[in-house]
Amino acid sequence: MNTSELQNIKQRYSIVGNCDALNHALNVALQVAPTDLSVLIVGESGVGKEIFPRVIHDNSPRRREKYFAINCGSIPEGTIDSELFGHEKGSFTGAVGESEGYFGVANKGTIFLDEVGELPLATQARLLRVLETGEYIRVGGQKVLKTDVRIVAATNVNMRKAISEGRFREDLFYRLNTIPISIPPLRDRGEDIVLLFRLFAMQMAEKYRLPKITLQEDAKRLLLKYKWPGNVRQLKNITEQMSILSKQREIDTETILQFIPQDMESRQLATINSVGAHSYENERELLYKILYELRGNVSDLRREMNGLRKQLDEARTLSDATAIQVRQLDTGRNFPTLQADSELHRSTIQDAVAEEINEPESLNLSDLGRQMVEKALERNGGNRKKAAQELGISDRTLYRRIKQFGLD
Ligand SMILES: Nc1ncnc2c1ncn2[C@@H]1O[C@H](COP(=O)(O)OP(=O)(O)O)[C@@H](O)[C@H]1O
Ligand SMILES: [Mg+2]
């Protein structure tokens, strides 16, 4: 595969990076694509495994046939066999009709089995059979069916360990692993880290319609030194968070340190941090998104408020005019009611406007930072050390934040 062909593929799939290991992985994928060989994509979580099966399918003679990506870890054990291999009518409670299953539907196409290490042993046996003979039987069925499916699988678990612990069949592993493709961890990709940062910074600037963030030199060095336990996915998340939260658009070391787990020396610690912070990461992400929505809502409110103001002015003019008219008619009976109604109308609008004027100018980013710190402290019963750990910042940074937000 020459360089320009490789470049084409990268462009087509928005794959960024130029390190040898990534280029090699792509080369192997393209070489093996035209065959029917099973491919096993191996790599840590977040390295970008999911694009490879697609590249393989699109560059194979099966490209016009079906492609299914199935996450083996997310289908309950009780239904995975029927999802993959189909079932006969009435084969289990709830099996109202019959179903073909992915292996039936994908005939002549490709199936991507993501997180294949999570397959239950019974399913592994069925899978081995279909890989070896192209034959399978539906759940509750008897007839042997034929299918012609190309399998690309991916895993981030140590398969040798899974085999030695009896969780994965060795024969199936060898069958799947005909062609192994190993995707390098981000920490081994050198300058690609900076290229990926630029890609994500650009994407986030577009997504959130904010000015693009860039990296100061020392910040760049820091990203290159960091261990990236969550790989490309982590870099993408952090770039998204900084894009939204950092007031300063030229990112310095200090800012980055607020977003990544602190320990730069020991990778183990970085990994522990990231695992421990996992659910919090999600929560933080959610919070950003909510904040983003809120900011939108505030602008909407402001627009609405202007509309209400106009209405209020109109109502005022109208009610004055009505009062005058009524007074002129002077029925003496209608006047007080009309007056009361229009007063009511006016004061309701006034209240609404008053409430909206009290909305904060804009929910700025430090509000969010404050909320995050407050929540973390709350969750950890005021323990600053634990709160700092959870936030992935140093005790010192947390201390500074607490002062800055006047939380002490
Ligand atoms: N080389 C790359 N260029 C651009 N984006 C990438 C690259 N590698 C991974 N990504 C992005 O990183 C995220 C994680 O990738 P994914 O394939 O889901 O990882 P994995 O399946 O290995 O855990 C995705 O959003 C993906 O688009
Ligand atoms: Mg994945």
DSSP string, 67-125: EEEEETTTS-HHHHHHHHH-B-TTSSTT--S-B-HHHHHTTTSEEEEETGGG--HHHHH
5-42 pLDDT, tens digit per residue, is: 999 999 999 999 999 999 999 999 999 999 999 999 99
- Of residues 331 and 132, which shows the higher confidence score? 132
261 Cβ closer than 6 Å to some ligand 1 atom: no
CA angle at residue 94 from 91 to 95, to 5 degrees? 40
Ligand 1 atom 9, closest CA: 48
Domain boundaries, the chain: 3-184, 188-257, 306-405
Q: 25: CA distance to ligand 1 center in Å?
A: 14
Q: Region 157-175: what's the mean pLDDT?
A: 95
Fold of 188-257: Helicase, Ruva Protein; domain 3 (1.10.8)
**Which structure tokens are listed for 251?**
């990112």
Q: Phi first, then psi: give them for residue 158, nearest 5 degrees.
A: -75, 105
How far apart CA 98 and CA 87 sit, in angstroms, is: 6
**Residue 379 binned pLDDT confidence (cut-offs 50, 70, 90):** confident
Q: How high does pLDDT run on average in the chain?
A: 83
Tell me the pLDDT band of 405, cut-offs 50, 70 and 90: confident
Q: What is the pLDDT of residue 198?
A: 98
Q: Mean pLDDT throughout 315-340?
A: 51
Return the ligand number nearest the Cα of 73.
2
pLDDT tens for 79-96 read 999 999 999 988 777 777
Give dist(CA 243, CA 213) in Å, integer. 6
Rounded average pLDDT over 254-270: 64
98 with 142: CB under 8 angstroms? no
- Give the per-residue pLDDT at 406: 84
- For the ranges 178-187, 312-321, 346-355, the maximum mean pLDDT occurs at 178-187
pLDDT at site 269: 34
Overall residue count recorded for the chain in this entry: 408
Query: 186 CB less than 6 Å from ligand 1?
Result: no
pTM of the prediction?
0.68
The reply to whether domains 3-184 and 188-257 share a CATH topology is no
Q: Checking DSSP bridges between strand 145-146 and strand 150-155, what pairing results, if any?
A: unpaired
Query: How many Å is the Cα radius of gyration of the chain?
Result: 30
- At residue 401, the pLDDT reads 83
Residue 333 has pLDDT above 60, yes or no: no
Q: Is the CB of 15 under 6 A from ligand 1?
A: yes
Q: Which of 371, 390, 48, 49 is nearest to 200 (CA)?
A: 48
The larger pLDDT score, comparing residue 52 to residue 378, is at 52
Q: Which atom of ligand 1 is nearest to the CA of 16?
A: 3
Contact 48, 232 (CB under 8 A): yes
Q: Is 236 in the pocket of ligand 1 (CB under 6 A)?
A: yes
Question: How sure is the predictor about 250, in pLDDT bands with cuts at 50, 70 and 90?
Answer: very high
Share of the chain above pLDDT 70, in %: 78
Ligand 1 neighbourhood includes 35 CB (under 6 angstroms): no
**55 CB near ligand 1 (under 6 Å):** no
Q: Which atom of ligand 1 is nearest to the CA of 47?
A: 22
Question: Comparing 205-214, 280-289, 312-321, which segment has the lowest mean pLDDT?
Answer: 280-289
Domain 3-184 is of which CATH architecture? 3-Layer(aba) Sandwich (3.40)
